[in-house]
Amino acid sequence: MTAHEVSRGYEIVVGLEVHCELATNTKLFCGCANQFGSEPNTNICPVCLGLPGSLPVLNERAVEFALRVGEAFNFDVPERSVFHRKNYFYPDMPKNFQTSQYDEPICSEGTLDVDGVTIRITRAHLEEDTGKSTHVGGDGGRIHGADHSLIDYNRAGVPLLEIVSEPDIRSAEQAARYVEELRATLLAIGVSDVKMEEGSMRVDANVSVRLVGATEFGKRCEVKNMNSIRSVRRAVAYEAERQIDLITSGERIMQETRHWNEDDGRTHSMRSKEEAFDYRYFPEPDLVPVEPTAEMRSLVRSQMPELPAAKRERLIDAWAITEHDARVIVDVPGLAEYAEAAVAVLGGGTPKDIVNWLTGDFLGFLNETGTKLDDSNLRPAGLAELVGMVVGGSISRNQGKDVMADALRSGEAPVAIVAARGIAQVSDAGALSGVLEVVFAANVDALDAYRSGDDKMKKKKRGFLMGEAMKATKGDGNPQLLNQLLDQMLEAL
């Protein structure tokens, strides 16, 4: 069972800390653009540079986004939350304190259902991101031994939401699924673009192990630097096994921070808790408490979209599709809406046909060409037309694939493509009988084997002959009709 993994008598205990950058237009405390990939130090001002005399002003949109998160994960959003200063020195942090939230976060006590298991979320709080250092020269981009360091403050002050789970996760797979579900939900409610590879979503895992049945937690290690959901799964699995190895060989676990290395597939010690900072948290005197108004709360509530889990359930019921297909449709932003638009104008066929075409060639094309869904040349109505033609038998499935590829490339309507290229499925019984006669003549051995063989052999040879016939029609033959004729001719042997 993936939700509760036991290894050598030990169970895995995981809590996840997820930082996600909020996709607001401007930074958390100033009007600078919140934009990834700008020229270094172009989205900066006295406030996000922490110049003497500058003061923060809270971005209301970030509060609105936090309220959306509150709705999505059943958080308690209190009347009032407070910003604190987290004090420590780091060159890419302009004020040498981070404005964050401490004992009065904006969201507390939420939940997320992961494959039927409820994972409790302790809190979600707002804070500002730091700048980014680049270390030049010396030992491979690290600060120690570097000739000099360059700092880009474009990211300084970008709004972050830190979402901290309870240690309720019991397997590496469940940890990965939690992140997947969290990411899909954050994406659906439009608060973040959650790109782990660009750092707009960062995951740290607190991993410990304990004997099955134990009530106390083991010493935990915090694993950092996981850049994909796959690496969350691998890193947690590795770290748990590492700890079990240590314990079973009589050693003790040190509470420490460990760095996941994607290349060697291991975690490496970064620093132990003995070096932990005293952050000297105290309430940020330059900001007033966050007190979302009733109007803001009801506005947010009224604008909440359908959440991924609910949408999957609805589509599975309504369209009779698999859990897997529902997940694919719902996880790609906008794809469910696309599918629903196509289903709405469907002439022939079922919603499941639409879904099959979408999850197959359609997504394949978008991924291969790097096309965004919104920019795709084939619109929902075109897809419905195409499915209608295939299901109705006027073109074959293979022809349909060609037409789709053509439509995606050219932007022409499928009906127009079919008409212009004269594509049609061969449904003429006389012509198809002729094809079968030629195939029979060329495969006398197969016919002999069919005649003398048992049921299994008959089935095998029948399949072979059908394939040869399809090949001879270049895939244009109407498969139902061809099957019917083949059966007649085999019976007549």
Partner 1 sequence: MTAREIAAAVRTGARSARSVLEEHFARIDVREAELHAFNYLMREQAFGAADAIDSAVARGEDPGCLAGVPVAVKDNFCTRGVPTTCSSKILEGWTPPYDSTAVARLHAAGAVLVGKTNLDEFAMGSSTENSAFGPTRNPHDPSRVPGGSSGGSAVAVAAGFSAIAYGSDTGGSIRQPAALCGVVGVKPTYGSVSRYGLVAFASSLDQIGPFAVDVGDAALALEAVWGYDPMDSTSLDATMDSLSDSLDRGVAGLRVGIVRELTEVDGIAPEVQARVAAAAEALSAAGAKVDYVSVPSVSYGLSAYYLIAPAEASSNLARYDGVRYGRRDAGADVATMNSATRDAGFGAEVKRRIMLGTYALSAGYYDSYYGKAQKVRTLIIQDFARAYEQFDVLLTPTAPTVAFEFGSKTADPLAMYLSDVCTIPTNLAGHCAISVPYGTAEPTSGATLTSDGNPKQLPIGVQVLAPALGEATMFRVAKAIEASAP
Applying CB under 8 A, does 51 fall inside the site for partner 1?
A: yes
Q: What is the DSSP letter of 7?
A: E
Cβ contacts of 249 within 8 Å, gap of 6 or more = none
Write down the least CB distance from residue 63 to partner 1, Å. Answer: 13
Q: Could you tell me if 406 and 423 are in contact, meaning their C-beta atoms sit under 8 angstroms apart? A: no
Applying CB under 8 A, does 421 fall inside the site for partner 1?
A: no
Applying CB under 8 A, does 41 fall inside the site for partner 1?
A: no
- Helix intervals (H) in 377-478: 380-392, 397-410, 414-421, 429-442, 444-452, 455-472
Applying CB under 8 A, does 286 fall inside the site for partner 1?
A: yes
Which residue, 53 or 140, is less far from partner 1 as judged by CB?
Answer: 53
Select the span of 7-15, 81-89, 369-377, 386-394 touching partner 1 (CB under 8 A). Answer: 81-89
Q: Which residue from 54, 17, 447, 390 is spatially nearest to 202, judged by alpha carbons?
A: 17
Q: How many CB atoms lie within 10 A of CB 212?
A: 11
Cβ contacts of 432 within 8 Å, gap of 6 or more = 426, 469, 473, 477, 478, 481, 482, 485
Q: Is the dihedral of CA 420, 423, 427, 428 positive or negative?
A: positive
Select the span of 63-71, 104-112, 182-190, 273-281 touching partner 1 (CB under 8 A). Answer: 273-281
Which residue, 287 or 426, is less far from partner 1 as judged by CB?
Answer: 287
Which residue, 94 or 414, is less far from partner 1 as judged by CB?
Answer: 94
Q: Could you tell me if 385 and 414 are in contact, meaning their C-beta atoms sit under 8 angstroms apart? A: yes
Write down the least CB distance from residue 52 to partner 1, Å. Answer: 4
> Which residue type sits at 360?
G
For 262-311, strand residue ranges (E) read: 266-272, 282-283
Chain positions 145 to 204 lying near partner 1, rule: CB under 8 A, are 149, 151
Applying CB under 8 A, does 52 fall inside the site for partner 1?
A: yes
Which residue, 50 or 199, is less far from partner 1 as judged by CB?
Answer: 50
Q: Which residue from 371, 337, 374, 375 is spatially nearest to 354, judged by alpha carbons?
A: 337
Write down the least CB distance from residue 259 to partner 1, Å. Answer: 20
> Residue-wise over 275-296: b if at least 16 C-beta within 10 A, else e?
eeeeeeeeebeebeebebeeee
Q: How many CB atoms lie within 10 A of CB 44?
A: 22
Applying CB under 8 A, does 287 fall inside the site for partner 1?
A: yes
Which residue, 157 or 477, is less far from partner 1 as judged by CB?
Answer: 157
Which residue, 50 or 333, is less far from partner 1 as judged by CB?
Answer: 50
Applying CB under 8 A, does 46 fall inside the site for partner 1?
A: yes
Three-state secondary-structure class, residue 458: helix
Q: Could you tell me if 167 and 12 are in contact, meaning their C-beta atoms sit under 8 angstroms apart? A: no
Write down the least CB distance from residue 87 to partner 1, Å. Answer: 5
Which residue, 217 or 277, is less far from partner 1 as judged by CB?
Answer: 277
Select the span of 144-152, 202-210, 308-316, 358-366 touching partner 1 (CB under 8 A). Answer: 144-152
Q: Which of 87, 356, 377, 433 binds partner 1 (CB under 8 A)?
A: 87
Applying CB under 8 A, does 258 fall inside the site for partner 1?
A: no
Select the span of 101-109, 285-293, 356-364, 465-473 touching partner 1 (CB under 8 A). Answer: 285-293
Write down the least CB distance from residue 101 to partner 1, Å. Answer: 15
Binding site for partner 1 (CB under 8 A): 46, 49-58, 85, 87, 89, 91, 94-97, 143-144, 149, 151, 278, 280-282, 285-288
